[in-house]
Amino acid sequence: MTLKGRSFLTLRDFTPEEITYLIDLAAELKEKKKQGIMHDSLVGKNIVLIFEKTSTRTRCSFEVAAHDLGMHVTYLDPASSQFGGKESVADTARVLGRMYDGIEYRGFAQETVEELAKYAGVPVWNGLTDEFHPTQMIADMLTIREKFGKLEGLKFVYMGDARFNMGNSLMLTCAKLGINFVACTNKRYFPKKDLVELAKGIAAETGATITLTEDIDEATTDADVIYTDVWVSMGEPAVVWGERIDDLLPYQVNEKAFEKAKDTAIFMHCLPAYHDRNTRVGEEVYKKFGLSELEVTNEVFEGPRSVVFDEAENRMHSIKAIMKATLSD
Ligand code: CP
Ligand code: NVA
């Protein structure tokens, strides 16, 4: 299998076999790293990271993975380049494509990362847009496979804001890999109709099911994975917190949400998470609304079902796999 020269913009563009190949490669590179086996096969290459939004995991994963592969990295924060201000996306893409072997982009519109990829002439990796977060998917699927030894046939329940990058990406990924996906939330937070139709079409071929429901008991019965994400994403105004809390608090992931799940069920979250008051935003929300835990309770987050830090570690191994697969001969 070769993915050389391909951009990684959304999993819509990849076959189940290609996605599985990336998960396998991530597992292999993780093992090499644990055993101290060098894997700097991309010595001499250079990559650039463009971040229009903040990041801990994604940026650090790209940097560490690139160094492990022998590559050099340039980081551009939202204020330090001409991108978008004095220079168009297409012009920036053509400039950076002359200097770098690959470009990572985190920002707002999916169209921006698509435009970069159209003009760069080198692989572009989507480090998160409002619509999709594809590198997170390889890490999440690797994590699930490590816990259950398989992916196909599992029941995956997503609770909370299912109409943003994480809900969209997880629905598509589950469909591609034969995982039964349930979005369990207030119906105003279901993924968009056209994406649901696309996912259902893919699921029909892989044997997966796609379910959208407001019924927590129905959704969580026999669940293998319960997943959530923040209720207000990067780029959304703080003023929406009130309505999000009203709409989504019933879909908070707490111990009750796990009552009907399988004994072996795990909790996942892409992070960062609001599970206590130890963050500036968490504290502001507490002062305004009196809630110290939002999308997930501290009990679940810190409890034995939680695999969130394995998941975070796997970001690095999977981003390494994506870069290696798209840059190697
Ligand atoms: N999960 C994730 O993308 O985290 P960062 O925003 O820290 O990169
Ligand atoms: N939905 C979140 C994901 C963060 C990794 C956001 O876009 O802020």
Pairing of strands 225-228, 72-76: unpaired
Q: Kindly state if the Cβ of 325 falls inside 6 Å of ligand 1.
A: no
The finding on whether 319 has its CB within 6 A of some atom of ligand 1 is: no
- Kindly identify the ligand whose nearest atom is closest to the C-alpha of 230: 2
Nearest Cα neighbor of 253 from 197, 303, 211, 321 is 303
pLDDT tens digits, residue range 114-171?
999 999 999 999 999 999 999 999 999 999 999 999 999 999 999 999 999 999 999 9
- Give the per-residue pLDDT at 170: 99
Structure tokens at 12: 């819509």
Probe residue for ligand 2, chosen from 53, 228, 230, 232 as the CB with the greatest number of ligand atoms within 8 Å = 230
- Answer yes or no: is the C-beta of 232 below 6 A from any ligand 2 atom: no
Report pLDDT for 105.
Answer: 98
φ/ψ (deg, to 5) at 34: -60, -35
Pure H helices in 184-279:
193-206, 216-220, 241-248
Predicted pLDDT of residue 85? 85
- Nearest residue (CA) to ligand 1, atom 7: 56
Name which CATH class applies to 155-223+225-260+266-304.
Answer: alpha beta
Among the bound ligands, the one closest to the CA of 160: 2
Ligand 2 center–CA 232 separation, angstroms:
8
CA of 54 to the centre of ligand 2 (A): 10
The number of the ligand 2 atom at minimal distance from the alpha carbon of 229 is 1
14 contact partners, CB below 8 Å, separation of at least 6 = 8, 22, 176
- Give the residue, out of 54, 58, 268, 295, with the most ligand 1 atoms within 8 A of its beta carbon, to mutate for a pocket test: 58
Residue 222 Cα to ligand 1 midpoint, Å, equals: 29
The whole-number pLDDT of residue 79 equals 87
CATH superfamily for 11-133+314-327 is Aspartate/ornithine carbamoyltransferase (3.40.50.1370)
* β-pairing verdict for 46-51 and 102-106: parallel
pLDDT along the chain (329 residues), means of 10: 97 98 98 98 98 97 98 93 90 97 98 98 98 99 98 99 98 98 98 98 98 98 99 98 98 98 98 97 97 98 98 99 97
Instruction: Outline which parts of the chain fall under CATH 3.40.50.1370.
Output: 11-133+314-327, 155-223+225-260+266-304
What is the number of the ligand 1 atom nearest to the C-alpha of 60?
A: 8
Instruction: Tell me which residues are annotated as active site.
Output: 106, 133, 136, 229, 270, 315
Nearest atom in ligand 1 to 59's CA? 8
Query: In whole angstroms, how far apart are CA 96 and each of 31, 43, 160, 218, 236?
Result: 33, 19, 38, 49, 29
**From ligand 2's centre to the CA of 1, what distance in Å?**
31
Whether this prediction's pTM lies above 0.85 is answered by yes
- Closest atom, ligand 2, to C-alpha of 271: 5
Residue nearest to atom 6 of ligand 2 (CA): 233
- Decide whether any atom of ligand 2 lies within 6 Å of the 252 Cβ: no
Could you tell me how many residues make up the chain?
329
Local structure of 48: helix, strand or coil? strand
Compute, in angstroms, the gap from residue 165 CA to the centroid of ligand 2: 7
Instruction: Record the tokens describing residue 151, joined without a space.
Output: 């992916």
Ligand 1 atom closest to the CA of 234, numbered from 1? 6
pLDDT computed for residue 8 by the predictor? 99
